[in-house]
Structures are given as structure tokens and as C-alpha cells.
Amino acid sequence: MFKQISRFLRSLLSGLTAGLIFAALTTSVAAQPAPSPEESRVPAPTASQFSGQLVLDWMQLSLLLAQQTPGMSPPVTARAFAYQALTLYESVVPGMAGYQSLAGQLNELSSLPLAQPDEALHWPSVANASLAAITRMMFPHATAENKARIAQLERSLPLKYSRDFDPTRTTIERNRRSETYGRLMAMAVMTWARTDGGHEAWGPVRRDQANYVPPSNPSQWVPTPPGFATPLLPYWGSNRPFVLAQGNPSSVCPAPEPLAFSEDANSAFQRQVQEVHRISTQATQEQRQIALYWADDPLKTPTPAGHWLHIATDVLRSKQANLADAASALVQLNLAMSDAFVAAWHAKYQFQVLRPVTAVQLTIDSRWVPPLMHTPPFPEYPSGHSVQSAAAAQVLDKVFGANTEFTDNAHNDRGWGPRNFRNFQTAAQEAAMSRLYAGIHYRFGIEGGLVQGRCVGQKILALKLKP
């Protein structure tokens, strides 16, 4: 019967609208046979009675996929993590006492498949199946080797966490029904994800969008040396965010007005240009190390979102979080980071502030380039690192406590850690300032980004996970 449901769903996905698919998915789950007498004798534990380690293993693989998959720029990676976390949360929330679905609270997400109250589910099986399915869909360009890793992890986790998959706590029938429900949820979330504007990030420009042309005003952003690359994701700010205003996310969480461009050596703008240039030539060893530690370059690392996801998973692991706690923490963190990038990108291409390398070459030293790293190919204001880090820290403050000390192991494999932080805000401030030390952001770009990011974090925390 499960093969029949799967074939039925594949045919639906090719021809139905998102709303009809959601209805069909719900009907398919409801149509399954009632539990057998044997199954009804096995109690159905809640999600909080299972370990969250299974989820953390999936996040660890996702970090590897983000690092090794072409096209996973920081905004694209944050989006992928967000849909993974949302799929996990929605698939297990029926088993989380006191929690509710986010359907009806997120933009254009009115409904999702429902778990039937008279059909018990095994929550580790649900989580494993849903994460496997959404991970495949979020990383379609993963290497063949990494696609094999996804399949291997899905198969191996029931053996690795045998206590959670103890046959005395579930039945074969319940496991199969649970796996089907998890995959249905992943397909429903993916159907919605395809309409957010970010799904085409790897492909050609959408037909309703003209090719992007950078501004010609000499006071605004232009492609930067050494590669003079084309602008990265110029329309990302028009994507549908999860909670911010569609079409104009900066209206809900604006970045403050940036300093006005000026070539006057005594102007506020030029003083900040001079600061970038001065620090680049006089940076301390500690400042240089901070700049490199938080660079989080694509294809070398899992990007900035991956850095913060790594921090969160380590804290969850240290606290031995259960499945429900892991799901609720990760959905808030990753929705915040994804919306932070949408808001930041909207502001970047709205303000079009030129990068320090351009300003320094215009007014101070025509041969200067940042000594530690190349300037990214998009406008300066606000700093994306600052927006995203501030949003992440706001969420982690609420989830784990504002005075939580933690060890950052994100770059241990590169010989750059571990590093200890007093709290999440300290780490976010350091991540933001790292871009000044690197010579690729002004101080006002960092400070404005922190303001916008804190707002994004608060908007995500306003979601009602509990009625």
C-alpha cells in the first residue's frame, strides 16, 4: 500500500497545485488502515521521550553537504537549513505536547498534512524519514558520493540509536506508517518551498525578471577586484521570507540609513573609509585571526549559517536534548538565519553602498586591496554576517539562556579552534567586527546589520510554537 501511495504522490506533484497537493497528502494519511490489535498494545511515547541525537547527526551531514555542494552561497545555504528544520519540526510536532504547527503563521503556508490522532506514530522514524527526504531535495546538486551518504545515514541511524528504535517500543506497522508520514511532510514542505523565489538560485534568471544591471552612479556599488564578479543573487531580497513582509522585508526590520557617500576627507563617511584602511595595515594578530575565523567562505566551510548551526548542535548535544527540544530550537534558529539573509539582501540592493576597496582606491590608495581576503561580489550595506549573526544570537539567547557559555568547535578540523565564548552575543559581536578587520565592511555597515538582525530574531521568536 505504501508503494501505491508513493506512486500516487509522484503523479500528484507533477500536475496539482500546492493547495490540492496538501489536501491529497492529508487524505492519503487518513486513508491508511486502523492500527492492528497487536500494535494497540504497544504504548506510543511522545517526541520528548526520544533522544535528539538522530537530528544532530542529520545536521552534521548537512554541514558537510553545504560545504561540498556547488552553488551553496550563504543565503542559499541558510534557506536549505531552514526548510530542513521546518520539515523536522512539522513532522514531529504532533508528538510534542503543548506545541503546535506553524502552518497559518508563515507566509503563504495555510496547511500541512495532519497526523491522525487514532494512529500512533514512532517519532524517531518520522524524523529520520522526513529529514532524509528534505535533505535530498534541498541539496539536488550534491555529489554522487554525498547522495550516497544521505542514503547510508538514513539506513544506519535505526541501528546506531537502537534504544530509540527498540522494537518493544514500536511495531513494524507503526514504523512504516511513520516513515510514510515523514516523507509526506517533506514533500508538502518542498511543494511550498518551490514557490518562494529562491528555488531557482542555481538556474537561469526567472522569466519575469530582467537581467540585473548594477547602478551607474559613481557613488554606488560596482563590481570589485580582483575578479570583478557579477552580482551575487541580486533578487534574493524579493524572495518570500518566512515571517517578514513579502516584497519588502526591510519594511518590517529595516537597517538604519547608511552614511551618505562623500569624498571629503573630514566627512563621516570618509572617516570610516580611513578606519578600514588603517586597520588593514595595523591589524593585530588577534584581529587577523578573528577575520579569518569568521570568514566562513563557501566551498571551504558550511558558510556563516553553518557556523551558527554547528554552535547550536554542539550546545544541544552537551545538554543531551531530546527530539522535541532539538526540533523546536533548530526551527527557530534556522528560520531566523534564512529571513536575515533575505532582509540583508533586500537592503543591500536597495542602498547600493560601495565597498571599502572601491572607496579606498578612489580617495586614499589606488592600489589597495584587503590583505586577508577578496571582497564578496555584492553591495556593502548592511553586513550580511552582522545581520545573520545577530538574528542567530537572539534566538539562541531565548532558547538556551542569555548567559550560556559555550565552546565553538566549528573550525577544529582546520586547526583554528576550539574557542570559548561567554555568551552568544559576544560571539555575534565578534563575527560582525571580523568583517571590519578583514577590510570588507565599514563600521556603520556592521552596526546597521546588527540592528537589523536583532529585529529579525525577535520576529521569529514572536512565532507561537505553543498555543
Q: Checking phi first, is residue 43 left (phi over 0); if not, alpha (psi -120 to 50) or beta?
A: beta
Q: Read off the DSSP letter of residue 301.
A: B
pLDDT in tens, the chain (467 residues): 334 444 434 444 333 334 434 444 444 444 445 556 556 567 789 999 999 999 999 999 999 999 999 999 999 999 999 999 999 999 999 999 999 999 999 999 999 999 988 889 999 999 999 999 999 999 999 999 999 999 999 999 999 999 999 998 899 999 999 999 999 999 999 999 999 999 876 544 455 567 888 888 989 999 999 999 999 999 999 999 999 999 899 899 999 999 999 999 999 999 999 999 999 989 999 999 999 999 999 999 999 999 999 999 999 999 999 999 999 999 999 999 999 999 999 999 999 999 999 999 999 999 999 999 999 999 999 999 999 999 999 999 999 999 999 999 999 988 888 999 999 999 999 999 999 999 999 999 999 999 999 999 999 999 999 99
CATH number assigned to the domain comprising residue 328:
1.10.606.20
Q: Are residues 71 and 173 in the same domain?
A: yes
Domain boundary among the residues 193, 208, 226 is at 193
Domain boundary among the residues 137, 160, 193 is at 193
- Asked if residue 220 belongs to a domain, the reply is no
Q: Are residues 282 and 389 in the same domain?
A: yes
pLDDT value, residue 27: 40
pLDDT value, residue 417: 84
Q: Are the C-beta atoms of residues 420 and 408 closer than 8 Å to each other? A: yes
- Asked if residue 207 belongs to a domain, the reply is no
Residue from 207, 177, 50, 185 nearest 112 by CA: 185
Counted domains in the chain: 2
Q: Which range marks the domain in which residue 46 is found?
A: 2-193
Q: What is the pTM of this model?
A: 0.92
- Asked if residue 202 belongs to a domain, the reply is no
∠10-11-15 over CA atoms, to 5°?
A: 115
| H helix or E strand, kind and range, residue 339 | helix 323-351
CATH number assigned to the domain comprising residue 25:
1.20.144
- Asked if residue 385 belongs to a domain, the reply is yes
Exposure b/e, 41-65, CB count within 10 A at least 16 = b: ebebbbbbebbbbbbbbbbebbbeb
Residue from 162, 431, 189 nearest 292 by CA: 431
Q: Are residues 180 and 265 in the same domain?
A: no
C-alpha to C-alpha distance for 242 and 449, rounded to whole angstroms: 19
Q: Are residues 158 and 306 in the same domain?
A: no
Domain boundary among the residues 130, 163, 193 is at 193
**Residue recorded with cell 513582509:** 245
Residues in CB range of 294: below 8 A, 6 or more apart:
304, 307, 385, 430, 431, 434, 435
- Asked if residue 203 belongs to a domain, the reply is no
pLDDT value, residue 430: 98
- Asked if residue 157 belongs to a domain, the reply is yes
Q: Are residues 255 and 384 in the same domain?
A: yes
- Asked if residue 210 belongs to a domain, the reply is no
Q: Are residues 289 and 432 in the same domain?
A: yes
Q: Read off the DSSP letter of residue 418.
A: -
Q: Are residues 346 and 457 in the same domain?
A: yes
Q: Are residues 121 and 45 in the same domain?
A: yes
pLDDT value, residue 40: 59
- The total of other beta-carbon atoms located within 10 Å of residue 228's CB is 9
- Asked if residue 434 belongs to a domain, the reply is yes
Q: Are residues 180 and 275 in the same domain?
A: no
Residues in CB range of 199: below 8 A, 6 or more apart:
193
Q: Are residues 133 and 254 in the same domain?
A: no
Q: Are residues 46 and 108 in the same domain?
A: yes
Q: Are residues 349 and 413 in the same domain?
A: yes
